[in-house]
Structure 1
Amino acid sequence: MKLETQLAKLAELGLILNPDITIEDIIYAVDRHDLEQKPFELLLFSFGSEVEREPWGRRICNRVWNFDTECIVSTGDYVKIVQNLCLLTGLPDALTDIVDYIDLAAGECWLEYTIQDKRQHWTVDINDDWADMLTLSYVMEEIQHDGCQFYALDNGQAMILVYCTPAIASKLGDLCDEDLEPVIPA
């Protein structure tokens, strides 16, 4: 399926390229032929990534994130994760004053943030360098709104996270020929 057709179908579901992103940015990292031979799944992976050329730090789509869950090394890692989750919801400032502390050797890890003038503190379980998905599911539950929720496509040690309605998740699953699973079971 032509890349442009895939992009149009995703756009119908509300998944669009960020304003400064072009098709050339996508095919710089993933061959057009591969994207067209394995429609939607590779494109969703690309949507969840950053452009792999200058200027650096540009996300392809703010509604999708390729979340490598083996990413906890030092203080600040949970802050980055939570900021990405907020960005997916379209409310990058849903949580404020986000702070974490990570000392894997000492076995100490926690996450704090403010939501609607309430300070939230989580003691985070440590499992080597893997993110604590239970704690992150609590964060996700707090920031979900407007009938949308977090869905995931398994990607090995990573997951492609999409923030959308159940109906859109079902349509994406049909396009990818694989069900998107809710991160927080109903």
Structure 2
Amino acid sequence: MKIKITILIMGIIGLLGLFGCNGKTKSTEKLNNKVTFQEQLVIFKQLGFTLNKGVDTSDINRWQGGYKEFEDQPFHLLYQTLGQTIEREPWTPITNKCWDFDLEAIEDHGAYIDIMQNISRITSGELKFENLKDYVDVEEKKAWVSFTCNGDNYKWDLKVNDDWADGDLFDKVQDLADKYKTKGRFTYFNTGGQDFVLGYYSKKDLEQIVQKTNLKIVWLKAKGQIH
């Protein structure tokens, strides 16, 4: 009899551990406890996502739904927004830790120069592209970009698909990071749209970001991700 009572008590204790006083499971309560915009921002700042000079939280809180939109998509929307620029002159990047890139960005000469400059910017100087030149003619279906990196000269011919960027370019810059044995490597985050967030982190940094945010940020491999 004592054994049966003991088993019954243990079962009740187990159920109390699983359910809160309001009858919700702990997992349900966890899902219902949304991470506030400010909490998300603090975590990103702790991870090294420093706002650039002249940028403040009003530049980040740009969506129609306000903070609620960030809380409905915890860390996802904030990470994406941190990779954008402010919506006023001088169009300063919000941070230099990532870049939210819209692939439909190739219209004329200078487009690939802009892309290469932004790629270099998020590497904190580990990959510097100098003497940048490009050529873009959508009607002629011809495009290329040339530059110097670590004293080596490069000229990459690029595919033309209307105004869509050639995804192979991102694999090429990943190859450069491997070639020059930089501390960081490029990462990819799928936003669900025609843009993606390009990051550049060490293995340790990426592990910390994923652990703190639960974002599905992976090492970049454009084939299978971008095209």
Q: Is the 8 A contact 1:7 1:16 kept in 2?
A: no
CA deviation vs aligned residue, 1:37-86 (integer Å, no higher than 9, x gap):
3221111111011112x333111111111100111111110000000000
Q: Would you say 1:148 and 2:184 are equivalent positions?
A: yes
- Distance in 1, matches of 2:53 and 2:182, equals 23
Q: Higher strand share goes to which structure?
A: 1
Task: Give, in angstroms, the shift of residue 95 of structure 1.
Answer: 0.9
Report the structure number with the largest CA radius of gyration: 2
CA deviation vs aligned residue, 1:116-139 (integer Å, no higher than 9, x gap):
222211111112221111123212
Q: Is the 8 A contact 1:89 1:143 kept in 2?
A: no
Q: Would you say 1:64 and 2:98 are equivalent positions?
A: yes
Q: Which 5+ residue runs of structure 1 have no aligned equivalent? A: none
Cα 1:132–1:115 shift into 2, 3 Å: same
Q: Which 5+ residue runs of structure 2 have no aligned equivalent? A: 1-34, 223-227
Instruction: Show the counterpart of 1:43.
Output: 78
SS at match of 1:110: strand
Instruction: Show the counterpart of 1:78.
Output: 112
**Per chain length, whose mean CA-contact separation is higher, i.e. which structure has more relative contact order (CA < 8 Å, sep 6+)?**
1
Aligned residues: 184
Cα 1:75–1:55 shift into 2, 3 Å: closer
Q: Structure 1 segments of 4 or more deviating over 6 A?
A: none
Cα 1:40–1:147 shift into 2, 3 Å: same
Q: Would you say 1:167 and 2:173 are equivalent positions?
A: no
Q: Give TM-score, length-normalised by structure 1.
A: 0.88
1:32 corresponds to which of 64, 67, 77: 67
- Distance in 2, matches of 1:71 and 1:3, equals 30
Q: Is the 8 A contact 1:86 1:143 kept in 2?
A: no
Identity of aligned residues (%): 25
Cα 1:68–1:157 shift into 2, 3 Å: same
Q: Give TM-score, length-normalised by structure 2.
A: 0.73
Instruction: Show the counterpart of 2:6.
Output: none
